[in-house]
């Protein structure tokens, strides 16, 4: 067996196990990769929301990154929750120091329950220091609205926002359309923009409230595919496909938004064989 792809996942820990680093590790493993991580914050959360957040000091974020990169290395990087400007700047500095490639930035700003996971200063630092290093940026509609400073109410608006974000120095932008108004009857559409052309990726709408971890899953699968040497279009298509399946097989746990489940297909096949 050859050496597996190595994905560095940087983000917050989710005590409920549905999103954050926990979702990242599951997604990388589902792609046949090996995940290393740097925890940027410890959250107290469950399916009903985030109750508390403890940011990890920047020196500890840096120490984690140095430890795994000096020994194991990374073929791709996925960043998630970066709550403080110091966290953003620390991560950007290490990406440059180690000349890391295949950088996927998921700009986690607000938890599904509505709690802010990023300070205003951190958002400004993200635009200034991290976005120019990103190979792919994967905002959802609210995140794209904040970063582009425009309202998004249609697919055409998604395209316009992607172009605005591209002008911030990002090589490629995927604006995810799960929050787009009025799409439940027509399905979910994501837009990929590489600075020259737009590509549209569509999926049927799955009626469920259990969508916790969709953004983390999508970005981690995307990073894994890039590390495997796939082109961006193919990587986005695979991330879309696997995230759609994970939503279809989501789990009804707790009293709020349950987690998506990448291993649903495996569970069904295993049951049929027994």
Q: Please give the positions annotated as active site.
A: 176, 211, 213-216
Within 13 Å, how many C-alpha atoms sit on residue 204's CB side? 5
Residues in the chain: 274
Going by their DSSP bridges, the two strands 49-55 and 76-79 should be labelled as unpaired
Helices (H), the chain: 20-30, 58-71, 85-97, 120-125, 141-148, 155-166, 214-227, 232-248, 264-273
Q: Which residue is listed with tokens 């050859």? A: 2
Separation between Cα atoms, residue 198 and residue 40, nearest integer Å: 33
Q: How far is CA 133 from the centre of its chain?
A: 16
3 state SS of 83: coil
The CA angle 217-28-147, to the nearest 5 degrees, is 40
Can you tell me which residue has the tokens 């680093």? Answer: 21
CA distance 79 to 219: 9
Q: What is the DSSP letter of 133?
A: G
Structure token pair of residue 166: 């591209």
């Amino acid at each position: 067996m050859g050496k597996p792809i190595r994905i560095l996942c940087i983000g917050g820990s989710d005590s409920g196990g549905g999103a954050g680093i926990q979702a990242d590790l599951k997604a990388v493993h589902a792609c046949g990769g090996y995940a290393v991580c740097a925890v940027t914050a410890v959250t107290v959360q469950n399916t009903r929301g985030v109750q508390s957040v403890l940011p990890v000091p920047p020196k500890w974020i840096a120490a984690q990154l140095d430890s795994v990169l000096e020994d194991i290395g990374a073929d791709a990087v996925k960043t998630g929750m970066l709550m403080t400007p110091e966290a953003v700047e620390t991560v950007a500095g290490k990406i440059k120091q180690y000349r890391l490639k295949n950088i996927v930035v998921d700009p986690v700003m607000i938890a599904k329950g509505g709690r802010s996971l990023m300070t205003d200063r951190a958002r400004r630092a993200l635009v200034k220091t991290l976005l120019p290093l990103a190979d792919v940026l994967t905002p959802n509609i609210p995140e794209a609205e904040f970063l582009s400073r425009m309202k998004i109410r249609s697919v055409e608006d998604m395209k316009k926002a992607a172009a605005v974000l591209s002008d911030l120095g990002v090589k490629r932008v995927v604006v995810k359309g799960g929050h787009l108004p009025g799409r439940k009857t027509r399905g979910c559409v994501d837009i990929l923009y590489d600075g020259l052309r737009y590509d549209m990726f569509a999926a049927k709408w799955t009626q469920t409230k259990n969508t916790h971890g969709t953004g983390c899953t999508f970005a981690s699968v995307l990073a894994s595919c890039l590390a495997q040497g796939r082109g961006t279009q193919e990587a986005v298509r695979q991330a879309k496909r696997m995230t759609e399946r994970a939503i279809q097989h989501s789990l009804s746990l707790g009293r709020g938004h349950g987690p998506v489940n990448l291993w649903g297909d495996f569970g069904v096949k295993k049951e049929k064989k027994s």
